[in-house]
Structure 1
Amino acid sequence: MRTDQLAPSAYEQDVVLTAPTIRCGSCVAKIERSLADMPGVARVRANLTLRRINLTLAQTDDALQNVLDELENIGHPGRLIDSADLSAEAKDDTEVALLKAVAVSGFGAMNVMLLSVAVWSGASDATRDSFHLISGIIALPIVIYAARFFFISAWGALRRAHMNMDVPIALAISLALALSVFETLRGGEEVFFDAAVTLTFFLLIGRYLDYRMRGKARSAMTGLQRLAVREAWEVTPEGALCVVAADAIYPGMVLRIPAGERTPVDLRITSGASDLDRSLVTGESAPVAVAVGDEVEAGALNLTGPMDAVALRPVEESFLAMSMRMLAGAEESRSTYVRIADRAAQLYAPLIHLIGFATFVGWLLATGDWQRAAFVAISVLIVTCPCALALAVPVAHVVASSRLMAEGVLIKDGSALERLATATRAVWDKTGTLTDGSPVLAESLDASPDNDAAATLAAHSAHPVARCIAAAHRAPALPVEELREHPGFGVEGRIDGRLARLGRPSWVAEIAGEMAEGDGPAFAFAGAQMQRFPLRETLRDGAAEAVTTLRDAGLPSEILSGDAAPAVARVAAQLEIEETRAGLTPQDKVARLQELSAQDERPLMVGDGLNDTAALATAHVSMSPASATEAGRAAADFVFLREGLDAVPLALTVARRTAATVRQNFGLAIAYNCIAVPLAIAGHVTPLIAAIAMSGSSIAVVANSLRLNRRRVAPATPRLREAAA
């Protein structure tokens, strides 16, 4: 069983912090290293794209405060936000501030460049010195203002004895300015004010574009955040209405949902009827009629009439909160590629300063010109940046997860994309997965003592087969004692003092006095004749196409089912699946998956029932429909919201494209450094060209990742498409 499926301790709590100073992979690595070994911290994951820190803390009084103090010490101050209301973060003004800085530095670059052109055209002596002085008067305040992002970040790291990606940038700009001021005061012929201002201008352009493109990658998350409700109307026992905060809603609270408002939590309607926009769940914008007894997910929009409903879950456990957690978790994986990028980010700071110093010493010894040596060293400091490498994986994962979210597929962990891309076999549960999960009895169910007792047991089970038996029998339920459900086997209890079982025939046969031929679930009183309930099933929409598409993609299918062999064989024949195993217990399914893994297969398990939970957790990668049990959804790596199974090949396609994109991103980042660094050390790259190249490499990686949003194979969820526009 994968370790990521282990349940957290009951004495732990999840918190989310916002940390706006997270800018690169080295920031992520530093935060996780600093917090991982702290007392009371069970789990920590820093999210580069969302600039958040997700923590699992022991429930101690000082654990959170200690974490906040440590973040302050390492230069990444954090602030607590409500994990159930991730839209509560304060508006980030960074984009506007960056745009202003770009405008100011661009204005300064134009003016200083005009003065430089005059010097290059032949101005000398006093005229040249005057132009140098005027350039300095323009450049110094502009660079101090516009490059403050780099200076503040670098100083914050250095005063805590740390390094980050802004230290070499700030050092390069400072050296260029200092060298220019020195030359101006001594009447030198060459200054670098134009290079310093233009360098700042292009660096800021790169950071601004990088920020915008990361914001595009975050658009699906912000779209979900806008669907979250902050307050709701509670109906008190006296019938009065009062406003209640969303995070104060508890299961059993009665709420009123007026027309035009969204549901704050998952609900069951108790009075009223209306039409809902459930496009977040179904992907369809057509209104869905709901009435008393229907369950509605958080985030649905009430279109027509007011409704009263009872809350089923608190806001942090709602469907919308689960969707946001799964989408955010796509970047927090620790896959093979992420570990490579993290290690590179950790080695970056000491290595680049060592290279820069060695370059300065080498050029100084070779030429004796310390100004030339400093100029080349500045270029080296700028051109060697790990941003592209640090962005290679997380941006691709968050764009892919946004794409899948728009198509109705949620991802629990970004590493699941990597595992899905390498899957070699599809393993399917039958009932509720390949079939629509709503079997019907092949024959009518007349009133009889056995039928009455079987329907009574069936009414106490959530299994689809049990529900169809209970629905087909209208007689009043009988009193039952010692009721107990056995996952994968059935339900048993005592009726009129007699032990009765309903479920798997082999299990029912343990108490039956006489066997019965046929297929379908069985029922028997202890020592009495067994009775069978033949069923009819219909395939889930897109099942045949999904199996065929996966087969063409190199993933043969097999069915692992707890149902009887004849029923499994009928479905397998319809889908042209040759490999089937019937009558399996949950342990049998786990054993088969372990057997496949021992044969170097990497199985993709698709299942929905309580009896599939262990198999979903054991498989190399797993998927579950939104109609699955809560335990099944929790164990799966992917949850698809569509009714059809076309989500499975879609996810495989996106996963394979994401894996290819990550490899391309690594290739771009490595190729850039292999070309740019030697050229800079050789003195063929000016600081200006270095700034353009460094920014360009990061933008190229982000732009390459954004290509994952192209060529949609199915209509996007309208609500998310609108949010991302």
Structure 2
Amino acid sequence: MSVAACPACAGAVPGPRAATPDATHLLHLPDIHCGGCISSVERALTALPDVLSARVNLTQKRVSVAAPGLSSQVLIDTLARAGHRAQPLDRGRLGPRDAELRRLLTRIGVAGFAMMNVMLMSVAVWSGATGATAQVFHLVSAMIAIPAVAYAAQPFFGSALSALRAGRLNMDVPISLAIVLASGASLAQAFGLSDRAGWFDAALALTFFLLVGRYLERAGRGAARSAAAELAALEAPQALLVTADGTRVVAADSLVPGDRIRLLPGDRLPADGTILSGATDLDRSALTGESAPAPAGIGDAVQAGEIALTGSVEVRVDRAGRDTALARMAEIVATAEAQRTRYAGIADRAARLYAPLVHGLGAATFAGWLLVTGDAWLSLDVAISVLVITCPCALGLAVPVVSTVATGRLFRDGMLVKSDTALERLSQIDTVAFDKTGTLTTGEVRLATELADDDLALAAGLARHSRHPLARAIVAAADARDISPAQVDGLTEHPGLGLEATHGTRRIRLGRPGWAGPESDGPSAFLDTGDGAPRPLETAERIAPETEATVTALRARGMDMALLSGDGPRAVARIAGALGIAAAQARLTPEGKVDWIADRRAAGHRVLMVGDGLNDTGGLAVADAAISPGSGLDAARSAADVVLLRGGLGGVTDALWTARGAMARMRQNIGLAVAYNVVSVPLAVLGYASPLVAALAMSLSSITVTLNAVRRFK
């Protein structure tokens, strides 16, 4: 008698086993955990007419399916109807190489094996074989080389044909032309149409080394893993939808706001939502870089991509599909990875001009050598070298690989780069302007003034409608004294000024001096109760962790710094003095911050604004670059070029130094690519580089640029 350990396995009967054909699909099964699960999965899949076999590995929670005529989605839907969640596994991710790398490695092996055999036969010809004997060796070489080249050079031929069909030229067109010319010339010699030494070994060597270069280039770019791809990989493809009849497996992209889903330990959230029941610890490390699990319970907001580590919870879906925070973040990062800089423009223009120029240069080289030497085969040899050695692969890789590496590393260190021009602008910064409350300080403001109960109730009645740190401090002070907020009507928030409402027949205000009270260099704010003189409010706050280290690091690099705040002069001077920031501006309205930044820019400075509040959005928008903490308001995060996901200001220096390093690396790469062409092209035109040497030089230039890009930024 067998006992099923889960509902999906109820009634499952083990099926007969047979020899396993080669698997065509590999699926991950997150929920299986017993023998009944194995039987249920295999029976559901083998019931499909086109499935030849299905074998489950319980330890790895995978099923290997041999179904040549079916798509993975059909198999996933079938398992969903049987009560099992499944998702496709990329075989390339299970090993050290992706599928394309494996295919390239196979082609390298074919080209290398054929090249060595043809070289052995060439030894006989070069050793003195003549006449019919030499021709036999040439024909046998052709029988080995032509099929080998036709197979191994497919990546170049396929790319070139696609470009030609689209009516354009790319860098694989001259490479393919060079391979075809070398093979054709060798074939002509094999049939006795030329008395010049055959080029089969050269054609194969050219293909071999070009493939080696492409393999190493791709492997190097793999080290620059895309943060956007990593985010996309966090998307859960399926969900457990809670219905009146229980739960059923559905595709995550079919969820809509209002749906209820169940999350089991180990599950990744497929949508943004709110916990309705249960409690869990969430792993948010992939999104925020914070390794410590975060407890979450009823009423807490959760996001797609987070993993439930403990406990089962029920979640109401608030946003799904392309509307989740994870999906929006992935789109932002993908945009940022395609950094547009003046260096990118140079590289793009050079790559576009390459194809027509290299074909013209190759033709001119052939004509020139033919005119001087009268030897068509020698002229063709030199022209082939020119076609290969002038490939602008290095120039094409100079900028995008660095952009991907830099933005990916920043993201993995907890910084979300949103703008596609952020790196260049951040690299030019010489002045950093900070907001005070919530940026340089913790934002946990304490009310230092002792108000009468009635006044505190009025202040709390206004403050409870605002997220400003002073407002939260007032509400906290009222709660600590068990004072209920007074009822107010017609509340309006004036950004940078304060809050205004009516209480009975009185107009009341809570806000900055000069608006809610007299101009003053003392109190941070005033409460105007509409009855008597406005009450001054003093606050106290703590400097945030990492702030002092960040300011010290910026000062050591020669950065100018300023503190821009709407608070009173005494509070601003206290924080500025503690941090050693000489330029401190108090009582600034949002327009005042914009004006200060505009004045600095007009004086020739490049200004970075760091802020988190609604009154900072103007400054964030007009600055040369902008950074906002992840705890900031939506408006501030939207206006920023970089969002600090982990909190703290340590990311400010990391972003600035990484941006400078990335721009320097781009300049280095473009310099390397230009130097390569300046040296190699004249050598090829003058006949000092054979096709084999040209292939080696071109591959080496691409590899050098890629390796330089993935070097660690200092």
TM-score normalised over the length of structure 1? 0.81
Q: Which residue of 1 aligns with 2:588?
A: 584
For 1:462 and 1:128, locate their aligned partners in 2 and report how far apart those are by CA, in whole Å. Answer: 89
Does residue 214 (structure 1) correspond to residue 218 (structure 2)? The answer is no
RMSD of the alignment, in Å? 2.4
> Residues 661-700 of structure 1: CA distance to partner in whole angstroms, max 9, x if unpaired?
1111011100100011000000011111111111111111
**In the alignment, which of 181, 198, 203 is matched to residue 196 of structure 1?**
203
How do 1:568-579 residues align onto structure 2 when only pairs under 5 Å count?
A: 568-579=572-583
> Residues 152-207 of structure 1: CA distance to partner in whole angstroms, max 9, x if unpaired?
22122223321111110111011111111111112634110001011111111111
Q: Which residue of 1 aligns with 2:373?
A: 367
**In the alignment, which of 616, 621, 627 is matched to residue 623 of structure 1?**
627
Question: Given residue 536 of structure 1, which amino acid in structure 2 is its aligned partner?
Answer: A
Q: Which residue of 2 aligns with 1:495?
A: 503
Preserved CA contact (<8 Å) 1:625 1:633? yes
**In the alignment, which of 119, 124, 129 is matched to residue 130 of structure 2?**
124
Q: Which residue of 2 aligns with 1:457?
A: 462
Among all aligned residue pairs of Structure 1 and Structure 2, give the percentage whose two residues are the same amino acid: 48
Q: Which residue of 2 aligns with 1:595?
A: 599
Q: Secondary structure in 1 aligned to 2:657?
A: helix
Question: Given residue 199 of structure 2, which amino acid in structure 1 is its aligned partner?
Answer: F
Q: Secondary structure in 2 aligned to 1:267?
A: strand
Does residue 505 (structure 1) correspond to residue 518 (structure 2)? The answer is no
Q: Secondary structure in 2 aligned to 1:708?
A: coil
Deviates more, 1:368-377 or 1:207-216: 207-216
Q: Which residue of 2 aligns with 1:358?
A: 364
How do 1:576-725 residues align onto structure 2 when only pairs under 5 Å count?
A: 576-708=580-712
Q: Which residue of 1 aligns with 2:555?
A: 551
**In the alignment, which of 94, 100, 103 is matched to residue 97 of structure 1?**
103
**Offset, 1:642:** 2.3
How do 1:246-285 residues align onto structure 2 when only pairs under 5 Å count?
A: 246-251=252-257, 253-285=259-291
Does residue 226 (structure 1) correspond to residue 214 (structure 2)? The answer is no
How do 1:139-538 residues align onto structure 2 when only pairs under 5 Å count?
A: 139-186=145-192, 188-235=195-242, 240-251=246-257, 253-443=259-449, 447-448=453-454, 450-474=455-479, 475-509=483-517, 518-526=522-530, 528-538=532-542
For 2:612 and 2:219, locate their aligned partners in 1 and report how far apart those are by CA, in whole Å. Answer: 39
Q: Which residue of 1 aligns with 2:17?
A: none
Q: Which residue of 2 aligns with 1:68?
A: none
Question: Given residue 456 of structure 1, which amino acid in structure 2 is its aligned partner?
Answer: G
Q: Secondary structure in 2 aligned to 1:472?
A: helix
Preserved CA contact (<8 Å) 1:95 1:211? yes
**Offset, 1:120:** 2.1
For 1:355 and 1:308, locate their aligned partners in 2 and report how far apart those are by CA, in whole Å. Answer: 67
For 2:203 and 2:153, locate their aligned partners in 1 and report how far apart those are by CA, in whole Å. Answer: 10
For 1:632 and 1:384, locate their aligned partners in 2 and report how far apart those are by CA, in whole Å. Answer: 48
Preserved CA contact (<8 Å) 2:521 2:570? no
Q: Which residue of 1 aligns with 2:22?
A: none
Classify 1:285/1:458 alpha carbon distance in 2 versus 1 (closer, same or farther; 3 Å).
same
Larger radius of gyration: 2
For 1:408 and 1:281, locate their aligned partners in 2 and report how far apart those are by CA, in whole Å. Answer: 8
Preserved CA contact (<8 Å) 1:109 1:198? yes
Q: Secondary structure in 2 aligned to 1:400?
A: helix
**Offset, 1:268:** 3.5
**Offset, 1:522:** 2.2
Preserved CA contact (<8 Å) 1:500 1:525? yes
Answer 1 or 2: higher relative contact order, Cα 8 Å, separation at least 6: 1
Q: What is the total number of aligned residue pairs between the two structures?
A: 619
**Offset, 1:319:** 3.4
**Offset, 1:386:** 1.2
Preserved CA contact (<8 Å) 1:516 1:529? no
Classify 1:698/1:579 alpha carbon distance in 2 versus 1 (closer, same or farther; 3 Å).
same
Question: Given residue 348 of structure 2, which amino acid in structure 1 is its aligned partner?
Answer: D
For 1:217 and 1:437, locate their aligned partners in 2 and report how far apart those are by CA, in whole Å. Answer: 37
For 2:314 and 2:381, locate their aligned partners in 1 and report how far apart those are by CA, in whole Å. Answer: 71
Q: Secondary structure in 2 aligned to 1:501?
A: strand
Q: Which residue of 2 aligns with 1:61?
A: none
**Offset, 1:346:** 1.2
Preserved CA contact (<8 Å) 1:516 1:532? no
Q: Which residue of 2 aligns with 1:50?
A: none
For 2:488 and 2:504, locate their aligned partners in 1 and report how far apart those are by CA, in whole Å. Answer: 7
Q: Which residue of 2 aligns with 1:106?
A: 112
For 2:384 and 2:153, locate their aligned partners in 1 and report how far apart those are by CA, in whole Å. Answer: 16
